[in-house]
Structures are given as structure tokens and as C-alpha cells.
């Protein structure tokens, strides 16, 4: 089904990066997979399992784990960036000089940089420089890493302004179990990919408090409006938020048992401390850092994000979770549209 790339380099060997490596190798594409942890890279090369971030999934022989940027990227026709958003700039400061000059760059990171309020694709563009924006797309959608790695059916979008480029990535990465759609609105896709993690924390808190299905549905729906409101302020197409990268990924992240952000919210709702939760797992819940960076971006753009504002107070200002949700429920009445507050 796919037009195979000669080789793909993946920078970032967390759960999603490892899953993408397994998927690409499974459809016959050789993959270099870079990991920050040299000892983990050596174990993976020997035992063929990422025992830290994706245990239980055997890596195909075409995946070559390494802690060396040059080894990972040598000869790559396509390169994926799959590092946590707060580490992307630092990682690419070391990796950019090894990026092949004509390689397509696929951003698969979800988040907003806290200091600059830049989405992950903009961070990559700044970190790498040159003409990289002309050969960059974003991959996003409702995709749990474990399910993709196991070959279960999934769909996602490849977003970029160059139609030929998005179609090239679409055809290369698609398989019978991984359906890809092209999208011409990278801004909307980036904002949706970032904000859905914050809303998932809110929904997790709601579920942890035992507030019921009605409250969960309200938070998801108004969270979607919150995502769209910020995206539209930045020039996004509102229809993007009705697609896979918007409502699709939002529903999955807010309701799926494999969601790290929902799980973090659940534990907060049940009374656990944020520091204890985040220190109990090597996995990164992107929504924690994105909460502050999204608010910074929204304030710069003059956009209200009431759910995100309350989650920030729960995460960083010791706000009682039940009190935060009560604030949202007792706000002044509004009309239901993308331009209104919750």
C-alpha cells in the first residue's frame, strides 16, 4: 500500500517514537531509532524490546536503536521528531547538523514551548534553520502508541501546506492498519494536539472525583470549543477541530485507559500529589507543561481558556479540584459558540 522510503530516522525513543519505529519497520522500511539513554539503546539492540517506554512489544529486525545522532540519521529520506516538547530544542541543537539536507521532516511531538509559546513545529524550524519549513509536516491524531505498535487499526492526519509533500508522507507511512489523511492546516492540528492533553487532565480529575458521565461530556465538549477558540485566533481552520486531530484525539485522550494525561487527572481527582504522580513513571504527561504555555499563548492572543486556567491552579497553585470544577459550572451564562467562554 505504501511507497517505501529508503530509510527513516526517528529522533526520540519514548513510547510513541518506538511505536512509529515498529510500524515503519513492519511495512518494510529500515529505521534508525535514536534514544537519549545509551544503556537503553544497547538493551533494545540486544533484546529487541523497549522495556522502559513500551514493554511487551518486540521490535522488528529493521529497527536499529542507537544513542548516536549521526548513526540514526545517516541516509534517511524521512526523519521523525518524537521527543517531548520541552526537550525538543535541546535535542535538535545536537541533532540538526546530521539531518540530511533533502530529508522530509515529520513532527510527531505534541506541545507548546513554555518560554516562547511556540508550537512544536515552530520550535523545530527555529532549532534546525535553513529551509526546513519547506520540507516539514506534522503527524497527529487519535493514536495510542501501544495499539499502533501492535498493528491495531488507527487513523491520523499528515498536516502541511505543501500538498505534494503531505501526500508523499501519507503514501509512505500508510498501511492496511494505519490510515492517513492529508490536512492543509498545520496550525490547527498543532493547537489541537497540544490542548487536548490539558482537557484530558480536566476530564481525568472529573472522573477521579466521581462526578459522572454528564460532567465528563460537558468538559470534553467545552474543551473542544476552548481548543478551537485558541486555534482560530492563530488563523486555524475551525473544521480542523471536527476531524481526527481535533475531536478524534480529544475523545481518545480524555476517555482511553492508556492516556497518561487522563490517568494523571484521575489520580489528582483521587487526592494524590502532582509531584508523587509525575515521579512515579518515566512517561511524560505533556499536558502538565502545556497548561502554562497554552495560557501564556492565549493571553498573548487575548483568548480566554477557562478550563485551562482552572487546571493550572490545580496543578501549580494547590487549588482544590472540586472547587476548580465548581468555578467552571458557576460562570456567567454564555452562548454556545466557538467565540464564547465556558
Cβ–Cβ contacts within 10 Å for residue 61, how many?
9
Among 124, 110, 299, 86, residue whose Cα is nearest residue 189:
110
CB-count exposure of residue 253 (10 Å: 0-12, 13-18, 19+): buried
Decide if 326 is catalytic.
Answer: no
Query: Alpha helices of 133-174 — where are they, by DSSP H?
Result: 145-149, 163-173
Rounded Cα distance between 192 and 230, Å, is 9
Q: What distance in Å separates the CA atoms of residue 296 and residue 135, rounded to the nearest whole number?
A: 29
Annotate 120-144 with b (16+ C-beta within 10 A) or e (fewer): bbbbbbbbbeeebbebbbbbbbbbb
Residue 5 and residue 174 in contact, taking contact as beta carbons nearer than 8 Å:
no
Q: Tell me how far apart the alpha carbons of residues 324 and 332 are, in angstroms, rounded to a whole number.
A: 15
CA angle 111, 230, 12 (to 5 degrees): 10
DSSP class per residue in 78-133: EEEE-S-GGGHHHHHHHHGGGS-TTPEEEE----B-TTT--BHHHHHHHHH-TTGG
Reduced to 3 states, what is the DSSP secondary structure of residue 33?
strand
For the record, the C-alpha cell of 171 comes out as 503514501
Instruction: Tell me which of 46, 110, 163, 196 is the catalytic residue.
Output: 196
Q: Distances in Å between the alpha carbon of 58 and those of 21, 23, 33, 61, 317?
A: 11, 11, 14, 9, 42
For the annotated catalytic residues, the residue numbers are 196
Amino acid at each position: 500500500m505504501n511507497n517505501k522510503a529508503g530509510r527513516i530516522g526517528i529522533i526520540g525513543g519514548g513510547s510513541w517514537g518506538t511505536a512509529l519505529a515498529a510500524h515503519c519497520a513492519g511495512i518494510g522500511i529500515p529505521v534508525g531509532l535514536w534514544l537519549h539513554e545509551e544503556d537503553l539503546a544497547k538493551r533494545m539492540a540486544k533484546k529487541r524490546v523497549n522495556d522502559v517506554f513500551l514493554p511487551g512489544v518486540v521490535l522488528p529486525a529493521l529497527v536499529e536503536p542507537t544513542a548516536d545522532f549521526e548513526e540514526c540519521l545517516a541516509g534517511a529520506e524521512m526523519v521523525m521528531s518524537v521527543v517531548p516538547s520541552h526537550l525538543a530544542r535541546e535535542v535538535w541543537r545536537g541533532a540538526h547538523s546530521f539531518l540530511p539536507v533533502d530529508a522530509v521532516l515529520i513532527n510527531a511531538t505534541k506541545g507548546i514551548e513554555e518560554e516562547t509559546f511556540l508550537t512544536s513545529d515552530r520550535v523545530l524550524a527555529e532549532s534546525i534553520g535553513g529551509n526546513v519549513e519547506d520540507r516539514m509536516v506534522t503527524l497527529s491524531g487519535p493514536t495510542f502508541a501501544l495499539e499502533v505498535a501492535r498493528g491495531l487499526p488507527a487513523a491520523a492526519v499528515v498536516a502541511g501546506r505543501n500538498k505534494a509533500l503531505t501526500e508523499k508522507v501519507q503514501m509512505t507511512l500508510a498501511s492496511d492498519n494505519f490510515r492517513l489523511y492529508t490536512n492543509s492546516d498545520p496550525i490547527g492540528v498543532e493547537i489541537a494536539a497540544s490542548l487536548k492533553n490539558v482537557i484530558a487532565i480536566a476530564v481525568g480529575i472529573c472522573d477521579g472525583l466521581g462526578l459522572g458521565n454528564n460532567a465528563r461530556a460537558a468538559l470534553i465538549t467545552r474543551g473542544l470549543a476552548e481548543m478551537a477558540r485558541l486555534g482560530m485566533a492563530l488563523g486555524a481552520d475551525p473544521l480542523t477541530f471536527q476531524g481526527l486531530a481535533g475531536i478524534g484525539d480529544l475523545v481518545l485522550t480524555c476517555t482511553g485507559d492508556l492516556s497518561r494525561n487522563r490517568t494523571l487527572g484521575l489520580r489528582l481527582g483521587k487526592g494524590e500529589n502532582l509531584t508523587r504522580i509525575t515521579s512515579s513513571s518515566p512517561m511524560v504527561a505533556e499536558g502538565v507543561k502545556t497548561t502554562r504555555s497554552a495560557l501564556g499563548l492565549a493571553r498573548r492572543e487575548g483568548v480566554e481558556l477557562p478550563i485551562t486556567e482552572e487546571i493550572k491552579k490545580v496543578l501549580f497553585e494547590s487549588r482544590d479540584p472540586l472547587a476548580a470544577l465548581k468555578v467552571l459550572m458557576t460562570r456567567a451564562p454564555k452562548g454556545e459558540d466557538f467565540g464564547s467562554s465556558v
